[in-house]
Amino acid sequence: MNALITGGAGYIGGTVAHLLMEAGHRVVVYDNLSHSQRPSVPAGSAFVEGEVGDRKKLEAVLRSHPIDAVLHFAGLIEAGESMQFPELYFSNNSASTLVLFQAMLATGVKKLVFSSTAAVYGEPETTPIVEEAVLRPTNPYGESKLLVEQMLSWLHRIHGLRYASLRYFNVAGAIAGRGEAHEPESHLIPLVLDVALGRRKSIRIYGSDYATPDGTCIRDYIHVRDLAEAHLLALAALEDRERMIYNLGNGQGFSVRDIIAAARRVTGHPIPVEECPRRAGDPAILVASSEKIARELGWRPRCSGLDDIISDAWRWHQVRYAAREPSVAP
């Protein structure tokens, strides 16, 4: 199969590209390198630098290779930033994705795996969250992804586009040569490990008065390899299934303090804490039920232990910064 991966130079898209090539598929990475660098493009893939909103370039790529299926990862992912600049999220995540869909329809590509998010649920009424739960995002990031899911439903109904929409919870961990890194960094586990590496003085906890056992937000963490393997299963299932929506998570909730405690155990570093006010748009608890994908596609996370997930991330971060001088951030 020839697969186009938008955002394929990134953390998740690059991991999926790596596993697809391991399985014998041919991969074209399409990325604007705004949040990654050229060396991050997986070895062995073809690479095209471009914007998802560039329909002319997308159509040229889809026709020239030719492409059998698209896996769409490109987009903005910061819920907090979306509360400051919602227009960026609707432009990048919703409007540009519609351009991608138009290019796919124009070139006859009818299979898509879409990188969605647990943020489409907002504040859940019950946990663990099932796919049939009310969709009520509390930030523009989640809303921008929900708009895409709504587009997909109509494009499937009218044009026969086959798709799998995979709603991620918190992705962490690493595989050999590829781990989680953003510039600037905003995700909890890399930030905590930066403290252990001496690159930051402390870790900030945003809100300690939530209605949770220790007052901090609770999230479901899934290993990036488990997440990537779910994409391969969903892609294969599009041969027989026309439309799929699945949660991808561990089914276990860990608080911010749980993450910090696990990182202290794994790294042996004290990891000082700075308590700060809540951030707008952060739900208290997001924990997945992934029973649907387990039942229908046979997927189960194989690395579900928090210490194991953080250990993989820690090994990658140590290698990443081994040759660098530490730069201490607040």
193 lies in the same domain as 105: no
Q: Are residues 229 and 84 in the same domain?
A: yes
Domain of residue 118, CATH code: 3.40.50.720
Domain identity same for 145 and 42: yes
Spatial strand order in the sheet of 26-31 = 46-49, 26-31, 2-6, 69-72, 111-117, 162-168, 243-248
Task: Give CA–CA dist 247/192, Å, rounded.
Answer: 26
3-state SS assignment for residue 263: helix
Q: pLDDT averaged over consecutive 10-residue blocks of the chain (330 residues)?
A: 97 97 98 91 97 98 96 94 96 98 98 97 92 96 98 98 96 94 85 96 96 96 97 98 97 96 98 94 90 97 94 94 56
Q: Do 226 and 305 reside in the same domain of the chain?
A: no
In this structure, is residue 179 part of a structural domain?
Answer: no
Report the pLDDT value the prediction gives residue 287, as an integer from 0 to 100. Answer: 95
Structural domain contains residue 165: yes
Q: Are residues 132 and 58 in the same domain?
A: yes
The residue type found at 295 is: R
328 found inside a domain: no
CATH code assigned at 316: 3.90.25.10
Range of the domain at 312: 188-219+251-321
Rounded CA separation 98/114 (Å): 12
* Domain presence at residue 135: yes
Q: Are 144 and 82 in contact (CB under 8 A)?
A: yes
Distance of CA 115 to the CA centre of its chain: 7
Among the listed residues 141, 168, 221, 246, the single catalytic one is 141
How far apart, in whole angstroms, are the C-alpha atoms of residue 206 and residue 279? 6
Provide the pLDDT for residue 37.
Answer: 87
Domain annotation covers residue 326: no
Q: Mark whether 6 and 61 lie in a shared domain.
A: yes
What pLDDT is attached to residue 282?
Answer: 85
Task: Tell whether 202 and 228 lie within a shared domain.
Answer: no
Judge contact between 246 and 131, C-beta under 8 A: yes
Same domain, residue pair 90 and 202: no
Question: Residue 183 falls within a domain, yes or no?
Answer: no
The domain total for the chain is 2
Is 141 labeled as catalytic in the residue annotation? yes
Confirm whether 120 is domain-assigned: yes
Residue 237 has a pLDDT of 98
Whether residue 178 is contained in a domain is answered as no
Q: Residue 324: its pLDDT value, please?
A: 56
